[in-house]
Amino acid sequence: MSQPPVPSAPPSYPALTLRGLTKAFGQKIAVNQLSLAVPRGSLYGFVGPNGAGKTTTLSMATGLLRPDAGQVWVGDIDLWANPAAAKAKLGVLPDGLRLFDRLSGQELLTYTGLLRNLDRAVIKERSAQLLRALGLDQDAKKAVADYSAGMTKKISLAAALLHAPDLLVLDEPFEAIDPVSAKHIEDILRNFVTGGGTVILSSHVMDTVQRVCDHVAIIADGWLRAAGPVAAVAAGEDLTTRFFQLVGATGPAEELTWLRPSSN
Amino acid sequence: MVATLLQLKVKLTQSFLKRSTLRLVLWILGVLYAGLMALIAVVALAAARGAVAAHPDNARVVTVLVGSLLVIAWTLVPTLFFGADQTLDPARFVLFPVTGRTLVVGLTLAGLVGVPGGLTVVIAVGGSLAAYSAAVGPALLAAAGAAAGAVLCQLCCRLPVTALSTKLTSRRGRDVMSLLAVVLFVVGYSLYILFGTGASEVSGSAFERLAARAAGVAEVLEWTPFGVAWTWGPDAAAGAWGLLAGHVVVTLAYVALGLWAFARLLDRALEAPLTTTGPAAVTADDAVARWSSRLPRLSRPTAAVAARSWLYYRRDPRYTAMLPLMLMFPVVFTIIGLSGAMPPDDAGIDFGRIVVMGGCAMLPFMAGVSLSNDIGSDSTAWWVHLAAAVRGRADRLGRMLAQAGWCGPLIIVAGIVIPTLVGAADRAPAAVGTMLGIYGASLGVASVFSGLIVYPIALPGESAMSMKTGDFGIQMLSQFGTMLGVCVVGAPITVAGLLLPVSLGWLVIVLGLVWGAAMATIGVVAGGKIVDQRGSAILATLRKNDTRLRA
């Protein structure tokens, strides 16, 4: 790593550094030698086809899945060597994991805040604001089990934001989100980045990434195919076209001539 | 369809076992253990065939009682403890054009394909054949009856589980309660007959009185679904052909009735599969904040875990179902106590008091052991603890405190009331002390085991009665390990409680509190360390066990 030019300047460590991350499930290598630096203050998109290794990478980056090899640095903290310190700086929205859904939305936020050792008054104030900002204030007293998929995403996002982390790691934050809420979430994330925070989010919707993110990494079959500022990765083309080139998309699907409504 | 379903069951079990070597090894050990048990049982019964032929009346009572116990175990154990094997969950067939009638026979028989089911068949059929092998006719009839008995085992297992899991959840709590009320009545009444004081009692030793009463119980049971299938052999051996004909007809009627009812329930499950467990009404205020603020001396994460667990005992049906289970022991033994314990026999053996004291010990034992898979019941929601880097200690202590909040008082009340009711009020302090000591010991052991072994149980929102199959081995390892550990760690205080003179009862309370607190503390520290070290491995297991994620 290059030394910072001015020693007295604020630390120039990337917000998140992944070095040679590797994870295999049985015979299948889900993530292969993945290295990536997420610059401080960036809104980083992480894209790839289904099964490319996005969730596996983000799980390892947040301390939820132990890598077979490689390192995760959150700022200047080695996450797997010092998990408590690193996790305090992280806000996490995982995909496909459950919540304590017998709690109401409000209670889930209180629970998360207390687990992160926040002051009760702070939890109360912040959770009320978050619930309003995400349009959940009407449903704050309903059990999370009764929430729709989009509402569940939003309450998880609120829980990830509650302790004002340095770095947000969001797995598919816009999935199942309606356009109005998506707009609100985009505003919240931009505001967070403007204030010095860093976001890495995964998606398989290229339009979202092009609209929201300033950096992008493309992953396929566990390999990092490209990473950098969106304009650099797109290389003068449309990002979607570039994506197809990089992941090696094939031609149109084989035609299923028998797929017609039939009498039998 | 029957063959298809049986193949499906085998395929699903195979693929499940392939997912982990540990699973496979434990499964093989389970099969070997079951096979050994079956072999011992069959050989022992074959050796006893002479005795069976020589004492037909006694043999009849024992056969009917043991057989009934088997069917009752199949009825109760899955419902109360493990949940039924839901490999072939009716809900999985919703999208296929099938009806209850097409599935019912296959699903019933599929239950016999598996370790517990297979063991039941081998022991029942092989054992009956061996025991009545003195003559060909009775042996064959005994085996045929036992086969019908094994089918009744399956029906008695599947009927309550399916009935409870297909109804809407708001009503489920009530269903569980009413079922348990029936169970408590049956068990309590049987124990009352066996151990309570009857009118004009036969004189003699405790064993003779017990034998006389056992014959009375068997006479009733042999016409119920529990006992009827086991009478074929004894009837034939005694040459009571009329009685045999009656028993055969009644057995087949029960099987037919059971299949019909099961098919009806399956139809209902196939019509309305999406009976998600409606969550309990959430209180208007923030109950996590309210309850956690009542524990100001604890760290915030510990208080949060305690508050959340406490709320789950009321809001999650999987936890709510625990309350009647815990109450079962005190209630049953109170019934015995009220009925007047059996007076000591000539040799001074006081069966009544032994049973009652055993019941006292069971309450704290089971309460603690029920925490041995508490992370498993969180399922993948536990990631919140891992992501927030909650210390293992806080996780362990919070869960313990939540359960002790309601089990502690229950244990103290039971420790005072039960000895008083059996006329041993002077032993109440010793009982309370011993029970508290055992409770602390079982909490501590469970706290360690729940960090070491996480096994699949009913997922959040699923029926409390559904069990994830294939992991029978891991589940047994965890539960038996915990129980064995509690026996070891709880032994010193139990010995002290039994041996110290009655006048030193108050000392037992002090000893129990100290011992229990010490064992629980060790459990929190040791279990906490294990959870800290194994955090991501635990989450990986939870992911694997979350069938919702399985494609």
Q: What's the rounded mean pLDDT across residues A225-240?
A: 88
Other beta carbons within 10 angstroms of residue B253's beta carbon come to 12
For B:390-429, CB contacts with A below 8 A are 390
Residues in chain A: 264
Choose, out of A25, A79, A103, A125, the residue to mutate when testing the contact with B (most B CBs < 10 Å).
A103
Residues in chain B: 551
Name the nearest CA neighbour of B235 among B313, B298, B141, B165: B141
**Interface membership of B543 toward A (CB under 8 Å):** yes
pLDDT value of position B175 = 52
**Interface membership of A211 toward B (CB under 8 Å):** no
Q: What is the distance between the alpha carbons of residues B169 and B176, in angstroms, rounded to a whole number?
A: 10
Q: What is the distance between the alpha carbons of residues B407 and B364, in angstroms, rounded to a whole number?
A: 8
Of all residues in chain A, the percent with pLDDT exceeding 90 is: 63
Which strands make up the sheet holding A77-78, listed edge to edge? A28-38, A16-25, A69-74, A77-78
Q: Please tell me which residue of chain A has the smallest CA distance to B384.
A: A112
**Interface membership of A42 toward B (CB under 8 Å):** no
Task: Using the structure block, give the residue that is written with the tokens 């399916």.
Answer: B162
Contact A115 B286 (CB under 8 A): no
Residue A150 has pLDDT above 80, yes or no: yes
Contact A87 B388 (CB under 8 A): yes
Other beta carbons within 10 angstroms of residue B293's beta carbon come to 14
The distance from CA A162 to its chain's CA centroid, rounded to whole angstroms, is: 16
- The predicted-structure confidence for A111-126, as pLDDT tens digits, reads as follows 999 999 999 999 999 9
AA identity, residue B254: Y
To the nearest whole Å, the CA of B130 is away from the closest chain A CA by 47
Residue A259 has pLDDT above 60, yes or no: yes
Q: Interhelix angle for B169-195 vs B206-221, to 10°? A: 140
**Interface membership of B532 toward A (CB under 8 Å):** no
Contact A115 B384 (CB under 8 A): yes
**Interface membership of B380 toward A (CB under 8 Å):** yes
Which strands make up the sheet holding A167-171, listed edge to edge? A90-93, A167-171, A198-203, A43-47, A215-220, A223-229
**Interface membership of A128 toward B (CB under 8 Å):** no
DSSP code string of B380-419: GGGHHHHHTT--HHHHHHHHHHHHHHHHHHHHHHHHHHHH
Render each residue's pLDDT in chain B as its tens digit; 551 residues. 888 888 988 888 888 788 778 778 888 888 888 889 889 988 888 888 888 888 888 889 889 989 988 988 888 777 665 555 666 777 778 788 888 888 899 989 988 888 888 899 999 999 999 999 888 999 999 999 999 999 999 998 888 777 766 543 444 454 555 555 566 666 666 666 665 554 445 555 666 767 777 787 888 888 988 899 999 999 999 999 999 999 999 999 999 999 998 898 888 777 765 544 444 555 568 889 999 999 989 999 999 999 999 999 888 777 876 776 677 766 766 666 555 445 555 554 455 566 667 777 888 988 888 888 899 889 999 999 999 999 999 999 999 999 999 999 989 998 888 888 777 788 889 889 999 999 999 999 999 999 998 887 777 766 555 555 556 677 778 888 888 999 999 999 988 888 888 888 899 999 999 999 999 999 999 999 999 999 999 999 999 888 654 43
For A:98-127, CB contacts with B below 8 A are 98-104, 106-107, 110-112, 114-118, 120, 123-124
Q: In this predicted model, which residue has the larger pLDDT, A175 or B402?
A: B402
For B:299-318, CB contacts with A below 8 A are 299-301, 303-305, 307-308, 311-312, 315-316
Contact A142 B282 (CB under 8 A): yes
Q: How do beta strands A43-47 and A167-171 pair? A: unpaired
Q: What is the distance between the alpha carbons of residues B358 and B329, in angstroms, rounded to a whole number?
A: 10
- Count of A–B CB contacts within 8 Å? 124
Residue A24 CA: distances (Å) to CA of A53, A65, B168, B387: 10, 11, 42, 22
**Interface membership of A141 toward B (CB under 8 Å):** yes
Interface confidence, given as ipTM, is 0.92
Q: What is the distance between the alpha carbons of residues B525 and B159, in angstroms, rounded to a whole number?
A: 43
DSSP code string of B329-359: HHHHHHHHHHT-PPPP-TT---HHHHHHHHH
Please name the member of A101, A107, A115 whose beta carbon is closest to the beta carbon of B287.
Answer: A107
Please name the member of B305, B311, B549 whose beta carbon is closest to the beta carbon of A96.
Answer: B549
* pLDDT mean across residues, chain B: 81
B172 contact partners, CB below 8 Å, separation of at least 6: B164, B277, B317, B463, B464
pLDDT value of position B281 = 53
Q: What is the distance between the alpha carbons of residues B311 and B291, in angstroms, rounded to a whole number?
A: 9
Choose, out of B19, B286, B380, the residue to mutate when testing the contact with A (most A CBs < 10 Å).
B286
Decide if B495 contacts B416 (C-beta within 8 A): no
First to last CA, chain B: 24
**Interface membership of A62 toward B (CB under 8 Å):** yes
- The predicted-structure confidence for B419-447, as pLDDT tens digits, reads as follows 887 777 888 898 899 999 999 999 999 99
To the nearest whole Å, the CA of B168 is away from the closest chain A CA by 15
Which chain B residues are Cβ-neighbours of A87 within 8 angstroms?
Answer: 387-389
Decide if B153 contacts B69 (C-beta within 8 A): no
Decide if B100 contacts B270 (C-beta within 8 A): yes
Which chain A residues are Cβ-neighbours of B379 within 8 angstroms?
Answer: 98
**Interface membership of B495 toward A (CB under 8 Å):** no
For B:227-246, CB contacts with A below 8 A are none
Which chain A residues are Cβ-neighbours of B289 within 8 angstroms?
Answer: 107, 110, 120, 123-124
Please name the member of B305, B380, B388 whose beta carbon is closest to the beta carbon of A98.
Answer: B380
Contact A110 B312 (CB under 8 A): no
Contact B288 A103 (CB under 8 A): yes
Which chain B residues are Cβ-neighbours of A62 within 8 angstroms?
Answer: 387
Contact B301 A114 (CB under 8 A): yes
**Interface membership of A145 toward B (CB under 8 Å):** yes
To the nearest whole Å, the CA of A212 is away from the closest chain B CA by 26
Q: What is the distance between the alpha carbons of residues A138 and A132, in angstroms, rounded to a whole number?
A: 9
Q: In this predicted model, which residue has the larger pLDDT, B355 or A130?
A: A130
Contact A114 B379 (CB under 8 A): no
Choose, out of A56, A111, A161, the residue to mutate when testing the contact with B (most B CBs < 10 Å).
A111
Which chain B residues are Cβ-neighbours of A65 within 8 angstroms?
Answer: 536, 539-540
Please name the member of A63, A97, A104 whose beta carbon is closest to the beta carbon of B380.
Answer: A97
To the nearest whole Å, the CA of B288 is away from the closest chain A CA by 6
AA identity, residue B70: L
Contact A102 B311 (CB under 8 A): yes
Which chain B residues are Cβ-neighbours of A114 within 8 angstroms?
Answer: 288, 292, 300-301, 303-304
